[in-house]
Chains A and B, each alone.
Chain A
Amino acid sequence: MKLTALATAFVALLTSLAAAQAGVTHVAVAANFTEPAQEIAALFKQKTGHEAVLSFGASGAFFTQITHGAPFEVFLSADSERPKAAVDGGFAVADSLFTYAIGKLVLWSRVVDVTNGEAALKAGNFSKLSIANPVAAPYGTAAVETMKTLGVYDALQPKIVQGNSIAQAFQFVDTRNAELGFVALSQLHGVTAGTRWEVPQKLYPPIRQDAVLLKTGANSEASKAFLDFLKGPEARAIIERFGYGLGLGYAAK
């Protein structure tokens, strides 16, 4: 009798200690990384007990909020400029910066056969090509670079339409308003319609999606744990499955 009571008390103590140690971290996540982030967060909680509260949105908007005191502790951006700018501005911890995913550019169409994307672009048998606004999204810049490298940019420029985000560029192609367009491979996760051409990496500068620990989370165990988890094998498997390339661990400074 006494032994069972003692054992119960001991287990209760352990559980409460574990609960006391389980923290919460607030993570700002680039919209294109929504699904993989949700899976990673669920796994994270299962394995460590910590909870990652995720917010999704545009990296530019998050950056502005962070520089104005928003209570995020971790920032998963869609690009590499903004995390760097956060570090430079003193809002993030310098040596926590790393590339968590590499965006892969894809030429996609529901109208034209783009299996041989280079040939399709050179043939130009379409009236509208959709890209993300290069000013606003790295996928847009990548698309422009691809076309320039292939030498088709000048010929195709009159046919280009810009979505203000990669999501919008996707929508233009999905509704077939544009015959084809440059989208993110992650957006085609689970999509079987149409034809696609994964743009060879050599045609455009890599779209690095960098993560960083923000100053607000510098002392948060949960935050640091999350970033560590992100670098780990389970997270990397999920990232790859969703169509991203893998980062090299720590970004070069």
Chain B
Amino acid sequence: MSDGATIRAAFKGVLGSFSLDAGFTAPARGVTALFGPSGCGKTTVLRCVAGLQRLADGLCIVAGEVWQDPDGAFLPTHRRPLGYVFQEPSLFPHLSVRRNLLFGAPRHDPDSSRAKIAFDEVVELLGITALLDRSPGKLSGGERQRVAIGRALLSQPKLLLMDEPLSALDRATKDEILPFLERLRDRLSLPIIYITHSIAEVERLADQIVLMEKGRVIGAGPLEEMQSDPALPLATARDAAVTLDGVIEAHDDCYGLITIGVRGGSLTAPAPPAPVGDRRRIRVIAGDVSLTRDAPGPSSILNVLPARIVSMKPVDANEIVAVLALGPDGSGARLLSRVTRKSWETLHLSEGASVYAQVKAVALAPGRGELG
């Protein structure tokens, strides 16, 4: 990828008792999730990208613009065209919502050749029109966070950084805001680096994922690849799953099903009718995928797909997770399957073996609209 289309970041240093040595390259569009357990350094990395934290050994180049390099160049935070949404909304208590929103907006009109994020557009996108003249103290947690997001957007950033923006909110509020974030991602062509420790948020929002653990990056790449890589902790987690991008091929209104085509096969799931050709994201949990050597007879499981075992990894003494590639030649999308060691041995399964994957349940993400 050319320099103009990427975000390159690498930071190395010691903070107290914590040692950081993390670097990654993300595309300059779409959502890149920074994912990992608490304390692994995600927030530190984001703060370094923003310039809020300064490590001597740091590199940060955003769409060709050098924000920091190890030779000493360092652009202070207020000169970086970024937006930052913190975990707690952090609105300025002495300013109204409107004045909070406009705080970072450019004074004068910049040249209109650059696509501008307009005030009305943001307010409408985030549903905060009714709140404009209120004072931050009178808003709910969810409302405050939406204003905080709007405020970051109205500073006309070239990169949006979000540090667990939904973590401080309760379940209901999270569900209320997620669609706004999805709309944000779909409507604005703005790269977003999004920290979360919730795989559900990753699956709904992210295209790329950077996995971190103990101050190091242990994997980075497209979501599907990272989820099905047995070397990474995602695949061996108890609730391991893969998220696949598919296209709606057919809908059966009589039985209330839709069929989604992915690379190497099709999956059917109960869902309201949707237009053929629409893109949808689906999620398949490893524990819902069982294996047979021969084509099974009639069964209540709708989805039985030929596949090939690509690799395997023991999860503990008695369970194994297998990585499958769909299609008889094993060239399609990856799925995970969790089986007992007993079954593995009894069925004489091995890497390269041809199997049939029985997918008991397929979860559909709500209508996403256009991808990327």
Q: Do chains A and B directly touch (beta carbons under 8 Å) in the complex? A: no
